[in-house]
Amino acid sequence: MTELTEGAPGAGMLTPARRSPLRELVNYRQLVAMLVIRELKVRYKRSIFGLLWTMLNPLLLMVVYTVVFSTIMRAPRRNFAIFLLSGLLPWLFFSIAILQGLHSILVNQELIRKVRVPQAVFPLSVVGSNLVNFALSFVPLLLLMAVVRQPFTTALFFLPVAMLILTVFISGVTLLFATFTVFFRDVRHLAEVALQMLMYLSPVFYDLEMLGQHDTWWFRAFRVFLQVNPLSYLLGLVRDPVYYGRLPPLSGVALASAGALAVLFIGFSVFNRLAPRHIHYL
């Protein structure tokens, strides 16, 4: 039964009560789960291997990197393929979720016109489907660790926490890009270029220890950028347990968690503030 409340004085009518956007989204959590399943089914429709591609793709990447850095190029670190993949897999989760999620409102515009649902369910379902891919990609990664004799430590039990923090951060960013894309269609092209640049400006292929010291202004500026770049802390949440066999420092976990919650709050607030105007630009 629709919850009603009194309208403005003199209106002489009853209007639907306004619910909290967060509470409304929670009420539609089953729809989010259904959309995640739909995303996965559509993505692997008429595919022979289906969902197995979520593990085959990173497995093929791992084989290539292992061959390249163990036989062709002299890697700067032992088991450099593990080092690289421990940063590359969370980066792929981040970048692919954003690039797919920014289209989510546009591709569901017919449904949005016909059915009243919280529009946030569409970008969040994209993040959810990529979270499934990210989780499954750890299966071949762990197999490769066993093959190259990378030590397994109890720090690996921290990975679910790392995945949660990453998902919170990526959800906030995806919500922002999804709503901005409705009003400015150039956002999709700008996002592709920005993500390419950000990949090299984030510790995906390197870390601070590998950079060394250089007495130049641009290098000092680059190190400062790395220190304020949230991905420096987020990628470390996965790399530390997987490659270094240690828990991330508490300060890094705190900064990553605080940054993720702040981004989610901003993204969710901006998205819900602009959502009523989406229909006029679809």
Q: What is the pLDDT of residue 7?
A: 40
Highest mean pLDDT among 2-11, 161-170, 218-227, 269-278: 161-170
CA-CA distance, 21 to 27, in Å (whole number)? 10
8 lies in a domain?
A: no
15 lies in a domain?
A: no
Categorize the per-residue pLDDT at 76 as very low, low, confident or very high, splitting at 50, 70 and 90. Answer: low
246-257: pLDDT as tens digits: 999 999 999 999
* Listed residue (51, 23, 32) closest to 104, CA to CA: 32
168 lies in a domain?
A: yes
- Three-state SS across 74-132? CCCCCCHHHHHHHHHHHHHHHHHHHHHHCCHHHHCHHHHHHCCCCCCHHHHHHHHHHHH
Domain hosting residue 75, numbered range: 20-278
* pTM for this predicted structure: 0.85
Instruction: Report how many domains make up the chain.
Output: 1
200 lies in a domain?
A: yes
224 lies in a domain?
A: yes
Residue-wise DSSP of 151-219: PP-GGGGGHHHHHHHHHHHHHHHHHHHHHHHHH-TTHHHHHHHHHHHHHHTTTTS--HHHH----SHHH
> Which of 134-143, 165-174, 236-245 is predicted with the least confidence, judged by mean pLDDT?
134-143
CA-CA distance, 96 to 37, in Å (whole number)? 17
Q: What is the pLDDT of residue 205?
A: 85
Give the mean model confidence (pLDDT) for residues 13-21. 54
**pLDDT of residue 184 exceeding 60:** yes
Query: Using an 8 Å Cβ cutoff, are 282 and 191 in contact?
Result: no
Three-state DSSP state, 256: helix
Give the mean model confidence (pLDDT) for residues 170-179. 96
**pLDDT of residue 156 exceeding 70:** yes
Q: Which residues, at least 6 apart from 134, have a Cβ–Cβ distance to it below 8 Å?
A: 89, 90, 92, 93, 163, 166
10 lies in a domain?
A: no
9 lies in a domain?
A: no
Give the mean model confidence (pLDDT) for residues 235-264. 95
Give the mean model confidence (pLDDT) for residues 214-237. 88
Categorize the per-residue pLDDT at 12 as very low, low, confident or very high, splitting at 50, 70 and 90. Answer: very low
Categorize the per-residue pLDDT at 70 as very low, low, confident or very high, splitting at 50, 70 and 90. Answer: low
Give the mean model confidence (pLDDT) for residues 268-275. 94
CA-CA distance, 6 to 14, in Å (whole number)? 5
5 lies in a domain?
A: no
Mean pLDDT (the chain, rounded): 84
Q: What is the pLDDT of residue 19?
A: 66
